[in-house]
Amino acid sequence: EDQVTQSPEALRLQEGESSSLNCSYTVSGLRGLFWYRQDPGKGPEFLFTLYSAGEEKEKERLKATLTKKESFLHITAPKPEDSATYLCAVQANRRGSTLGRLYFGRGTQLTVWP
Amino acid sequence: DAGVIQSPRHEVTEMGQEVTLRCKPISGHDYLFWYRQTMMRGLELLIYFNNNVPIDDSGMPEDRFSAKMPNASFSTLKIQPSEPRDSAVYFCASRGQGWYFGPGTRLTVL
């Protein structure tokens, strides 16, 4: 069964304290891995798409990496405004569908305090 | 671009009533998705459309749920009759380079 697991469930960091969020997946036929940020009361906001092992993407203090079994979202010198829930999703092949399905993890709730 | 637009943003209704949620995708996006988010189950795909045609509705919980996309700029998700366990945030998303989500409709069924 296709699965996406994120860890930790919650992470508290002091401003400037770098860390990483993990997304591990077991899917048949990975077509893409996505990272989203979700603020309370809002929809998920697209951050990155990764397609193949070894690929990396960066945006400001965030860097996403991908291996064959997991992805990491590295946060360098975080600020309080980085506080949000970070969601990982994988797009997997599905019989009869040209697009595949997008499976979401439960997310990591990140809190960055000053 | 205005992004994905959903209405209403909040809906409170009583059990047994019909509820209709609306979505306007980003112009030019040919895929539209309906998701539901709850604390217990996270984000779940309910149904998605390609070029206005329903492709995969295996996530629709039961016959009380139905979705339509009469044209490329509008979709509805209907629940009839609604039940308290339908209370959740319902998101519409459209696909370009990634999946772009709307702000969601928070549904409360009393």
Mean pLDDT score across all residues of chain B:
94
Q: For A8-33, what is the mean pLDDT?
A: 92
State whether residue A106 sits within 8 Å of chain B by CB: yes
Q: Can you tell me the distance from the alpha carbon of A37 to that of A21, in angstroms, rounded to the nearest whole number? A: 12
Higher per-residue confidence, A88 vs A30: A88
Q: Which residues in chain B touch residue A105, judged by CB atoms under 8 angstroms apart?
A: 42
- The answer to whether residue A50 scores a pLDDT higher than 70 is yes
Q: For B83-88, what is the mean pLDDT?
A: 96
Q: For A6-26, what is the mean pLDDT?
A: 96
CA distance B80 to chain A (A): 25
Closest Cβ–Cβ partner in B48, B56, B101 for A44? B101
Question: CB–CB of A48/A58 below 8 Å?
Answer: no
Q: Do B99 and A89 touch (CB under 8 A)?
A: yes
Q: For A38-67, what is the mean pLDDT?
A: 94
CA distance B71 to chain A (A): 20
Q: For B40-65, what is the mean pLDDT?
A: 91
Q: Can you tell me the distance from the alpha carbon of A88 to that of B5, in angstroms, rounded to the nearest whole number? A: 23
Give the contacts of B27 (CB within 8 A, at least 6 positions apart). B1, B73
- The answer to whether residue B60 scores a pLDDT higher than 70 is yes
Per-residue pLDDT tens for A57-110?
999 999 999 998 999 999 999 999 999 999 999 987 766 555 656 789 999 999
pLDDT computed for residue B69 by the predictor: 97
Q: For A18-37, what is the mean pLDDT?
A: 91
pLDDT computed for residue A102 by the predictor: 78
Whether omega for the bond prior to residue A80 falls within 30 degrees of 0, making it cis, is: no
CA distance A91 to chain B (A): 10
